[in-house]
A = this chain, B = another copy of it.
């Protein structure tokens, strides 16, 4: 019983060092092809060029009358109507004639300009229109072929994120499928004999497993395919079995718990047996036992990435945003794996931790008078206290120093769930 661990064999490394180790391991991305309309959230794995010019024909910018420049004001003969849509026979327009045209419709032969309907009047005779202002230039109120996007133009560069507008742009330019980077699949399990699922009744000594639902919700928000491997008992055989199963199922394995120094913390031990532990302790608060390893799947010999998150829910949350999110973004091909950072002014003084930089949960709000984000602390930052992460939309990066940051001090902040 006295053979208990008294010190960790893992050196305490700095956060930046930990991040660069993990991101340099995650160097390779796999490529796949998707339909443009399903490309939302992927990163382009190729330069993408427009397949067709936009607009693909000379199109009217207004509802009005298609005419040929130069046209003087006066009563003009109407030769037809051109509306949007497939038109096999467009009426030709000569000098001193006009054709009614709707916005976006193709110009009929002979016409090169459009007179907006506001500059016209009815004549009483449906075969004629009164034009009150003539053309000023050829091409007036006309969108020329390819004036928005020319055929073959680079529309999305390799490494760019395909968001809502990029998705629409691809379709606009006739690009039906695109090469994108595969998004990693993630397997998740929690370790701990004390953990029970919500819905069951915990006995004395048991608590609900909140970490797995937290990780799964965060992955769901990132639109990442997830394999839920449940709760795993704190013994070497179970932990090893879970890892062996996970290695065959997913690119990234995220665990929570079992990374401290207790006699029942088997995660690091098992990771040393099945792969390589790159770091096992990070100088940060919360989240010191954060562990990162790589291993190979048995069947496909593919490289897998394993993140052992600490068991305290807040540590788990902070480490997820700090390490797992950039790791997933890097593997998904993002050129900027890190979440956006800004600066914010403290609304209250905060006592710094002299030993470790702290990732302080905070609510940022823009101050329109002072033109700066203001950061409100979420209160008691105990690593077990999930309430401290509630409503938070940012992690303040507080340096480790033996002093108090005063109200009004400027600190860096990582933006989380910013549309919250």
Contact = CB atoms under 8 A, between A and B. Distances in A.
Interface in A188-241: 192-194, 198-199, 202-211, 213-214, 216-218, 220-221, 234
Contact of A341 (B171, B366, B384, B391): B366
Given A63-B263, A417-B163, A192 B85 contact: yes
A260 interface: yes
A128 interface: yes
Contact of A387 (B2, B155, B220, B342): B155
B340 A214 contact: no
Given A205-B106, A366-B341, A192 B7 contact: no
Interface residues of A, number: 118
Given A102-B263, A194-B104, A208-B174, A213 B417 contact: no
Contacts of A129: 2
A4 B343 contact: no
Interface string A11-46: 000000000000000000000000011001100000
Interface string A385-401: 11101111000000000
Interface string A145-174: 000110000011000110111111101101
A406 interface: no
A41 B180 CA distance: 27
Contact of A384 (B55, B160, B366): B55
A177 to B, nearest CB: 9
A6 interface: yes
Nearest to A203: B86
9 contacts: A6-B121, A56-B206, A85-B192, A85-B234, A105-B194, A106-B204, A163-B221, A163-B420, A415-B419
